[in-house]
Amino acid sequence: MLKLSVSLNKIPIFSLQTGGQVGLADKPIINPDNLKIEGWIASTVFKDGMHILPISEIREVVPRGIAVNDQHAITPYQDLIRMQKVININYQLIGKSVVTESKKRLGRVQDYSADLDSFYIQRIYVSPSMFKALTRDQFVISREQILEITDKKIIVKDQEVTQRSFFTAPVQFPES
């Protein structure tokens, strides 16, 4: 099930044990090495401080939210030693510059979609600069097209970039 980035924020976390809401998944934690969502920065009603919901604790993603066994799935940040490097990177995909391997600038990441079965980001949606937006539509880039991810930009293959048109059929104007 693919979900756009906007639907990956502020997701209710429900306990299968009690059937009630035990927290809120605030924003996804993205690993820039493989574009995988490793978990969510989360809040809980039971404890104060920074908490994380690792994907290993998720039982199912349902239309209502995220299902976990119980409130203990929402873990204090300091207890997740293996995840701290990725958490501290605080990688934000939206807003990154996208260029081709021949250094042609395509634009910036406007959105992305993730598969909530595998937790991998599958597509990124790139909008050209404001000036180029007058003549071009949004680019859709699949994860297989991505060659390299750095702190400042994403490098993609030259030949495989496709444009997504907002028009499904050619526009015809009435004759005068």
3-class state of residue 86 by DSSP: helix
Query: What pLDDT was estimated at residue 45?
Result: 80
In the chain, list all ranges with CATH 2.30.30.240: 2-89, 97-164
Query: What pLDDT was estimated at residue 131?
Result: 53
Query: What pLDDT was estimated at residue 175?
Result: 46
5 has pLDDT over 70 = yes
Query: What pLDDT was estimated at residue 80?
Result: 92
Sequence-distant (≥ 6) Cβ neighbours of residue 103 within 8 angstroms: none
Question: In this predicted model, what pLDDT tens digit does every residue of 52-110 receive, in sequence order?
Answer: 999 999 999 998 999 999 999 999 999 999 999 999 999 999 999 999 999 999 999 99
Q: Which fold has domain 2-89?
A: SH3 type barrels. (2.30.30)
Hey, what amino acid is at 79? D
Question: pLDDT band for position 40 (50/70/90)?
Answer: very high
Q: Are 128 and 136 in contact (CB under 8 A)?
A: yes
Span of 79-83, 121-125, 127-131 with lowest mean pLDDT? 127-131
Report the C-alpha dihedral over residues 116, 121, 122, 128, rounded to 10 degrees: 130
Question: Residue 136 burial (CB < 10 Å; 0-12/13-18/19+)?
Answer: middle
Question: pLDDT band for position 160 (50/70/90)?
Answer: low
Query: What pLDDT was estimated at residue 49?
Result: 82
172 has pLDDT over 50 = no
Architecture of the domain whose range is 97-164: Roll (2.30)
How many angstroms separate the CA atoms of 30 and 92, rounded? 7
> What is the share, in percent, of the chain residues with pLDDT greater than 90?
74
Residue bearing the bigger pLDDT, 101 or 136: 101
134 has pLDDT over 70 = no
